[in-house]
Every structure is written in C-alpha cells, then in structure tokens.
Structure 1
C-alpha cells in the first residue's frame, strides 16, 4: 500500500547501529547524496539511499524530521511503535512522521530505498530509541 504524496521529506537512519545478539544483521549506513538549505527557513533538505542486506534491520529509532521514502528494490517492513507492521514493495512509498519510534527491516532479498528528509542543520537525522 503506497502512502499518499507529500511535501514532507526525510530519511531512514543514517548512522550504523549496534547489533543485538541473535538479531538480524544491521543495514548499511545511508549514503547521503545531497543536502541543501530550504529557502526562507532554518531547515535543510537531504536525499540519500539506504541499502539493506537480506533480512537486515535498522533497530528502533526516531527521526528528528519527517521522512519520505521510495522502495527501489525488494521489500521493506516498517513497524511504528504501537502499530502492526506494514510491508512496502518496490515501487511503493511510505512516510514517517518526526519523533515516531519505528523499526525498518528488509525482506529475504534485501532492499534499496531512496529517502528524502527535512531537518534542522547540525542536528542528527535520527536518535536511537530507548529499549
């Protein structure tokens, strides 16, 4: 199920994560393609690509700005805290609001996602969620 289009932009996790014993491998860090100031604001837009090896996950985290993502390859399961998981396939989009704790996980074939974000320059793109 694709999310409706939006001007809201953001990214998946951009920092590597610590892998818990017995858990799926972590995804690779997001490759940041470009960052540009948003005119007449104190915000910055960026775009990146996140690659997930098969069954890799980005542990619980919350983005500091809203995210808009497009699945280029494979399948990605996204689970927001307190909600059931949703699976997005190649060609579908999903968006995540700022501050909402979530987990993203690739399917057995891995996944590639292009992501765009808006955040405050100098701030991290995301923060790890407490366990």
Structure 2
C-alpha cells in the first residue's frame, strides 16, 4: 500500500524533469558532396551538381547563394524559408529553385533528407554566404 502512495510523487518528478532535447541546438546540415563541375561555355561560370544530406531536423543556417540553384528532394523532406515569404515544405520527388542572392534557411524534417542540388557559380569565389541574423 505504501508503494502506491509514491506513484504521484514519481509522476510529478518525471513531468518536471527537463526534456533531453530541451534547449539543444538543431544539428547542422552536412557539407554538400560535389559530384560534378563543368564549365559553361562563353561565360565565367561553372555548373555544379552535388548531394546534400541533412540528418533529422538538421538546419542549414541563414545564407544566400551567389548563383541560382535547382534542387530535387530524393529522400525525406526539407523546409525552405525565404525571408518575407511563407515556408515551403518540399517532399521526396519534388523540386524547388532558388534565385541568386536570396537569403533563406533550409531545414530537414524529422526523418532527415537527401537532396540533389545543381547550381551555377563563378569558380574561385564563395558560393554559399552565411547571412547575418
């Protein structure tokens, strides 16, 4: 009988314990693995193609690309948040495009994501530039 009196106390303690995830920062997205780069004839630009992998709930912090991008979600889903616009959730089998110099945040869903990305850039210059918060 005395053990039953402890149940409310145990429940109260468990409820008040901080969550293991509380206050934790979302993991960063992994570096994009470049699969191929080819020159664009008659320009100073190069086309690139790569795979971006996002662990579950990973975030690629606020940034902008110096060239246009087109991305196709192979697995999972990503949310693309462009400043001043509603968030866009892109699922496996769907694609999105991002014009050059548009500040945005890309984050993965709870299952993570794998994205095939293509882009145009000027070799030797930075492509992704972190934006200020």
TM-score, normalised to structure 2, is: 0.81
Looking at secondary structure, tell me which structure has more helix per residue: 2
Q: Unmatched 5+ residue regions in structure 1?
A: 1-20
Alignment of 1:74 with 2:76, yes or no, is: yes
Measure the CA separation in 1 of the matches of 2:125 and 2:49.
16
Q: CA RMSD in A?
A: 0.9
Counterpart of 1:53? 55
Counterpart of 2:128? 126
Q: How many residues align?
A: 111
Superposed displacement of residue 128, structure 1: 0.4
Which stretch of the first structure deviates more once superposed, 94-103 or 118-127? 118-127
- The ranges of structure 1 where at least 4 consecutive aligned residues each deviate by more than 6 angstroms after the TM superposition are none
Secondary structure of 1:61's match?
strand
Q: Unmatched 5+ residue regions in structure 2?
A: 1-22
Superposed displacement of residue 81, structure 1: 0.6
Superposed displacement of residue 71, structure 1: 0.1
TM-score, normalised to structure 1, is: 0.82
Superposed displacement of residue 89, structure 1: 0.3
Larger radius of gyration: 2
Measure the CA separation in 1 of the matches of 2:91 and 2:72.
9
